[in-house]
Amino acid sequence: MSAQENNVVFLPVEDAARREVALLWETLRDEADAAMHRDHAVARSMNSAVLMHVSFGHALSHRLAIKLSDHDIDRDELLALIYGAYTDRPGLLGAAAADLEAVKDRDPSNTEVLTPFLYFKGFYALQGYRVANWLWNHGRPHLARHIQSRISEVFSIDIHPAAVMGRGIMLDHGSGLVIGETAVVEDDVSILQNVTLGGTGKETGDRHPKIRRGALIGAGAKILGNIEVGIGAKVGAGSVVVTPVEPYTSVVGIPARPVGRPHKVLPGVTMDQVLSEPEYMI
DSSP letters of 78-101?
Answer: HHHHHHHHHHH-THHHHHHHHHHH
Helix orientation angle between 91-106 and 121-137, rounded to the nearest 10 degrees: 160
CA dihedral 22, 81, 92, 15 (to 10 degrees): 50
Residues 6+ apart with CB under 8 A from 79: 61, 62, 65
d(CA 166, CA 212): 10
Q: How many CB atoms lie within 10 A of CB 141?
A: 15
Residue-level pLDDT, tens digit, the chain, 282 residues: 444 444 544 445 567 778 889 999 999 999 999 999 999 999 999 999 999 999 999 999 999 999 999 999 999 999 999 999 999 999 999 999 999 999 999 999 999 999 999 999 999 999 999 999 999 999 999 999 999 999 999 999 999 999 999 999 999 999 999 999 999 999 999 999 999 999 988 888 999 999 999 999 999 999 999 999 999 999 999 999 999 999 999 999 999 999 977 777 899 998 887 766 544 443
Report long-range pairs for 58-65 (Cβ below 8 Å, ≥24 apart): 58/83, 59/25, 59/28, 60/86, 60/93, 60/96, 60/117, 60/127, 61/86, 63/117, 63/124, 64/124, 64/127, 64/128, 64/131
- pLDDT of res. 261: 74
Closest by Cα among 279, 269, 176, 194 to 231? 269
* CB distance 118 to 154 below 8 Å: no
* CB distance 173 to 155 below 8 Å: no
Q: Where along the chain do its domains lie?
A: 1-157, 163-282
pTM: 0.90
- pLDDT of res. 265: 87
CA 19-215-117 angle, to 5 degrees, is 45
The amino acid present at 128, given as its one-letter code, is G
- pLDDT of res. 13: 54
CATH number of 1-157: 1.10.3130.10
d(CA 86, CA 131): 8
Beta-strand relationship, 190-191 and 210-211: unpaired
CATH number of 163-282: 2.160.10.10
Residue 267, SS3 per DSSP: helix
Residue 162, SS3 per DSSP: coil
Residue 132, SS3 per DSSP: helix
